[in-house]
Structure 1
Amino acid sequence: MKKASVLMILGPLLLLGLYVFPLWNIMLGAPQYPDPLGMNIHIDGIRGVGEFDIQNIDGLNHYIGMRTLPKDDEMWEFSTFPLIIGAMVALGVLIGLLGYFGKVNYKWFLGWFILMSVLGVLGMYDFNAWMVDYGTNLDPNAIMKLTHPDGTPMTYKPPLLGHVKMLNFDVTSLPATGAWMMFAGMTLTLVAAWLGWKTTRPGAAPEAVVA
């Protein structure tokens, strides 16, 4: 159980990478932009991949009626997500320590993983809902009013995951370094739960005691 508990401590600590690295990355490439424009989605705000990328993206969006990208203080998520991540890291480390000293069992490890998974799904849902609103709630007085062949207004929602063609832009949305660190940390906690179950089930060999 102690090996499992060590993994349970290490797993949540990997989530601290979200305070340094971006969670998601969206890139926009077009023939007129040899260097694609990009934005990194952090848990506390949106940053441009290049120095002027946010300014250029907002300039392009203005022509088709999309709003400017939100500032850090314009979305409640950017002040709430860092608190949630910090609370989950602290909770996970505490559970790992309690497991190390035999106060809780592997079910607590699994419980943390399930709770973090639920929060992750809710976060992705919220992110996708924001992109739907961002790409479809357009200014009716926009300079360019583009429509589909059937006459319905064209929308510009970036993909949640993967690639899509929007006008002459190739838009790609993928997890960034922070997300991969989070996934790795969550995987460690799942392995910790499995090891904890394996070492505590009936008939399991006792762990070696290190002097």
Structure 2
Amino acid sequence: MKKASLMMMIGPVFLLGLFIFPLWNIMLGAPQYPEPLGMNIHINGIRDANEFDLQNIDGLNHYIGMRKLPKPKEMWEFSVFPLVIGGMVLLGVLIGILGYFKKIGYNWFLCWFILMSILGILGMYDFNSWMVDYGTNLDPNAIMKLANSDGTPMTYKPPLFGHSKMLNFDVSSLPAKGAWMMFIGMMLTVVAFYTGWNTAKSRKPKNQKKAST
């Protein structure tokens, strides 16, 4: 159980990488841009992938009626997400410590993983909802008003995951380093649960044998 508890303590610490590295990355490439424009989505704001990228993206978006990219104070998520991640790190480490001193069982390790997974899914849903609103709620007085082949107004929602084509831009949306660190940390808690379960399972017959004698 001690080995499992140590892994449970280490796993959530990987989530601290989200305070340093971006969670997600969106890149826009086009023939007129030798170097693609990009934005890094952090848990506390949106930053340039390269210098002046956000400024250039806002300039392009102005022509088709998209709003400027939000500042940290303009989205409640950028204030709440750091608190959620920090709270989950503290909770995970506390569960690991309590498990190490045999105050709680290994099932708590799985409970932390499930809770973190639910929060992650809710975060992705919120992120996707923001991109839908950002790419479809356009200024009716925009300089350029483009329509699809069926006559409906064209929308510009980036993909949540993967690649898509928007006008002459190739847009890719993929997890960044912070997301991979979070994934590794969460997987460590799953391994911690399995290790705790396996240890308890291997000890059970011995205890039963002692009881029978």
Please state which band the TM-score falls in when normalised by the shorter chain: over 0.9
Amino acid paired to 1:133: D
Tell me the CA shift for residue 58 of structure 1.
0.2
Q: Which residue of 2 aligns with 1:176?
A: 176
Structure possessing the higher radius of gyration over alpha carbons: 2
Amino acid paired to 2:111: G
Measured in 2, the distance between the counterparts of 1:202 and 1:72 equals 51
Question: Does residue 1:193 correspond to 2:199, yes or no?
Answer: no
TM superposition outliers: structure 1 runs of 4+ over 6 Å: none
Measured in 2, the distance between the counterparts of 1:97 and 1:205 equals 27
Amino acid paired to 1:135: G
When residues 205 and 30 of structure 1 are mapped into structure 2, their CA distance, relative to the original with a 3 A threshold, is farther
Percent of matched pairs sharing the same residue: 75
| Partner SS state of residue 157, structure 2 | coil
Q: Which residue of 1 aligns with 2:209?
A: none
Tell me the CA shift for residue 50 of structure 1.
1.0
Output one character per residue of 1:22-54: Cα deviation in whole Å (capped at 9) or x when no partner.
000000000000000000000000001111000
**TM-score, structure 1 as length reference:** 0.96
Measured in 1, the distance between the counterparts of 2:44 and 2:114 equals 24
Q: Which residue of 2 aligns with 1:65?
A: 65
Measured in 2, the distance between the counterparts of 1:182 and 1:205 equals 36
Tell me the CA shift for residue 202 of structure 1.
5.8
Output one character per residue of 1:50-91: Cα deviation in whole Å (capped at 9) or x when no partner.
110000000000000000000010000000000000000000
Amino acid paired to 2:61: N
Q: Which residue of 1 aligns with 2:127?
A: 127
Output one character per residue of 1:157-192: Cα deviation in whole Å (capped at 9) or x when no partner.
000000000000000000000000000000000000
Measured in 2, the distance between the counterparts of 1:3 and 1:203 equals 15
Measured in 2, the distance between the counterparts of 1:62 and 1:127 equals 21
Measured in 1, the distance between the counterparts of 2:153 and 2:109 equals 48
User: 1:2 touches 1:99 (CA, 8 Å); kept in 2?
Assistant: yes
Higher helix share: 2
When residues 92 and 22 of structure 1 are mapped into structure 2, their CA distance, relative to the original with a 3 A threshold, is same
Amino acid paired to 1:130: W
- Specify every segment of 5 or more residues in structure 2 that has no aligned partner in the other structure, as ranges: 207-213
| Partner SS state of residue 86, structure 1 | helix
Measured in 2, the distance between the counterparts of 1:168 and 1:28 equals 10
| Partner SS state of residue 88, structure 1 | helix
Tell me the CA shift for residue 201 of structure 1.
2.1
RMSD: 1.1
Amino acid paired to 1:88: M
Question: Does residue 1:155 correspond to 2:158, yes or no?
Answer: no
Q: Which residue of 1 aligns with 2:210?
A: none
Q: Which residue of 2 aligns with 1:209?
A: none
